[in-house]
Amino acid sequence: MAIIEPKSIQLIQNPTEKRLLNMISAVRASLFVVTPFFKEGMIEKVLSSLKEGKLRVLLRTDAFDMAGGISDLNALRKLAQHGAEIREIRNLHAKVIVFDEKKALITSSNLTKSGLNTNVEIGILVEDEEFIKNDVMPILNQYWQAAGEVKTSKMDEIQSDVEDILRLDEIRSSSEIEMPSIKTQGRFVSPKGKDEERIVKELTMQEKYELMASELMRGRLNKNQVLSIVNRFFDTAKMSGDEKRNICLGAMSYSFDSDNPFTTGGNYFSNVNYIYPGIKAIFQGQLPATFRNMILDKGKTKVSIRSVSDYRRIQKELYENFDLVPPKSTDVFNAIIEDRAALKRMANNIEYYHRIKRILPFAAGKLMRELEKDLLREMNGIKESRSRELKFEKDARRIESLEKELRNIEENIRILKIKAQF
């Protein structure tokens, strides 16, 4: 086959999320996504942006990826609910997105928040319909034909494998040796290799937070260096204590968005202490909720606690990087049972309930009984709500979705009653 030189090529660097979603929203006939690794939040954004057209997704389904939080099993289920065709290749590492077979993004980025925003990634956007038709699509279609289908039964098998991996991880944690302190962390580099040069007054507040955090998370700085960075975006000399607190906390979530979040977050935390020393007390008080979010895959940080060994490791990393005392397990448990959103998350995915029992085994008594009763109440409420909705629904696709959701919640109720011995 003769190679056709594409007529239009653009070099693409991060952040690319917004541009990608805009291109997806313009799709009218078809979207073909090839990505080995994917996260639920980004898949939700893709599905929300795709208004029309057939969706095909070629990915990698590895239970160890799912157990380690590299990819999300729930993302597969959401793709299936949307009606996407899903296939998998075990050794896939290509990342390509084709829009209506007219444009193709060939990139190093995975479908994750960091992959499309803060990681150092490079790709090319090809806008040449003839090149894509004659050179790109034949290769992708060849992969597609060789790939294995991913249906609901396959997803159930993956979930079973993930649960087995996590159980094994829990068993190993009882004899796990203490992890050494890591002193050779790599340098953090902004996605474009340098700071984005824009007039500060044109930036939104969130953009200021993100750019400020990207500089303050790279390493430990002295007071003058920190003030110089912060004063580029905010005039601290004219700020009250509350205003300083707000900018320090407002930018902090961005400092966790890296491959070594406790290192970069710890750097940021240490640096902003020069601006607002009171942040230490505030953050210490937020730790129970922070651990709750990591257990339940909530919040902006991609750190997740799935086992007892994860819990111990993160406590150690938190103490070493932030000089903070990890929260008591009872405080973390109370943060969970007081959070209505946490109950909803457990009601829709019973694995979170099992995760809490694995990670916080001390709570097998009165506290766990309280959680189980609240969770059962939440599940029954969802069941009643969906049953009422189903009664009046006319759309066949929505009826099928509601019936599937009802079967899922009924199974979760059954499991909970057995486990809790109601």
The neighbouring-strand residues paired with 200 are none
**Do 156 and 206 lie in a common domain?**
no
| Structural domain containing residue 152 | 9-164
Q: Is residue 195 part of a domain?
A: no
Last residue of a domain, one of 114, 144, 164: 164
pLDDT of the residue at 184: 43
Q: Give the pLDDT band (50/70/90) at residue 177.
A: very low
Q: Order of strands, edge to edge, in the sheet holding 85-88?
A: 9-13, 122-127, 103-107, 96-99, 30-34, 54-59, 85-88, 148-149
Q: What CATH number has the domain bearing residue 120?
A: 3.30.870.10
Q: Is residue 156 part of a domain?
A: yes
Instruction: List the structure tokens of 37.
Output: 């690794």
Last residue of a domain, one of 143, 164, 185: 164
What's the pLDDT tens digit per position in 112-145? Answer: 888 898 788 999 999 999 999 999 999 999 999 9
pLDDT of the residue at 200: 60
Q: Is residue 192 part of a domain?
A: no
**Do 320 and 411 lie in a common domain?**
yes
Could you give the CA distance from residue 157 to residue 163 in angstroms, rounded to a whole number? 10
- Segment 364-371 shows an average pLDDT of 73
User: Both ends of the chain: CA-CA distance in Å?
Assistant: 67
What's the pLDDT tens digit per position in 317-345? Answer: 888 888 888 888 888 988 988 888 888 88
Could you give the CA distance from residue 349 to residue 74 in angstroms, rounded to a whole number? 9
Cα–Cα distances in Å, from 267 out to 132, 187, 420, 422? Answer: 45, 12, 43, 48
| 254 against 366, higher pLDDT | 254
Q: Which of 321, 309, 347 is nearest to 267 (CA)?
A: 321
What's the pLDDT tens digit per position in 213-249? Answer: 888 988 888 999 999 889 888 888 888 888 888 998 8
**Do 71 and 214 lie in a common domain?**
no
Could you tell me where the DSSP H helices lie in 323-365?
329-337, 340-348, 351-359
**Do 223 and 309 lie in a common domain?**
yes
**How many Cα neighbours within 13 Å face the side chain of 234?**
26
**Do 158 and 283 lie in a common domain?**
no
Q: What does the DSSP 8-state code read for residue 139? A: H
> How many domains does the chain contain in total?
2
Could you give the CA distance from residue 416 to residue 418 in angstroms, rounded to a whole number? 5
Q: Is residue 3 part of a domain?
A: no
**Do 224 and 124 lie in a common domain?**
no
Provide the greatest CA pair distance for the chain.
72
Q: HEC states along 205-235?
A: HHHHHHHHHHHHCCCCCCHHHHHHHHHHHCC
- Segment 299-309 shows an average pLDDT of 80
**Do 94 and 151 lie in a common domain?**
yes
pLDDT of the residue at 235: 86
- Output b/e per residue, 254-278; b: 16+ Cβ within 10 A: bbbbbebbbbbbbbbbbbbbbbbee
pLDDT of the residue at 48: 92
Q: 168 pLDDT exceeds 80? A: no
pLDDT of the residue at 21: 94
pLDDT of the residue at 304: 85
What's the pLDDT tens digit per position in 268-278? Answer: 999 999 988 88
Could you give the CA distance from residue 286 to residue 254 in angstroms, rounded to a whole number? 16
Q: Is residue 183 part of a domain?
A: no
What's the pLDDT tens digit per position in 23-75? Answer: 999 999 999 999 999 999 999 999 999 998 999 999 999 888 888 788 999 99
Last residue of a domain, one of 164, 184, 219: 164
| 277 against 365, higher pLDDT | 277
Can you state the angle between helices 241-252 and 279-295, rounded to 10 degrees? Answer: 30
Q: Which of 142, 44, 145, 42 is nearest to 87 (CA)?
A: 145
- Segment 356-372 shows an average pLDDT of 75
**Do 146 and 213 lie in a common domain?**
no
For the chain, give the percent of residues with pLDDT over 90.
27
pLDDT of the residue at 186: 43
Q: Is residue 170 part of a domain?
A: no
**Do 143 and 247 lie in a common domain?**
no
Can you state the angle between helices 351-359 and 366-392, rounded to 10 degrees? Answer: 170
**Strands 30-34 and 96-99: what pairing?**
antiparallel
Q: Is residue 359 part of a domain?
A: yes
Could you give the CA distance from residue 124 to residue 106 in angstroms, rounded to a whole number? 5
Q: Which of 16-30, 58-72, 253-267, 358-372 has the lowest mean pLDDT?
A: 358-372
**Do 143 and 286 lie in a common domain?**
no
Cα–Cα distances in Å, from 311 out to 72, 159, 303? Answer: 20, 21, 11
Q: Does pTM top 0.75 for this prediction?
A: no
Q: Is residue 291 part of a domain?
A: yes
pLDDT of the residue at 402: 85
**Do 114 and 207 lie in a common domain?**
no
Q: Collect all residues with Cβ–Cβ distance below 8 Å to 32 and sequence separation of at least 6.
A: 56, 58, 96, 97, 98, 101, 140
**Do 249 and 366 lie in a common domain?**
yes
Q: Is the peptide bond before 327 cis (omega within 30 degrees of 0)?
A: no
- Tell me if 116 sits within 8 A of 15, measured CB to CB: yes
Residue type for position 179:
M
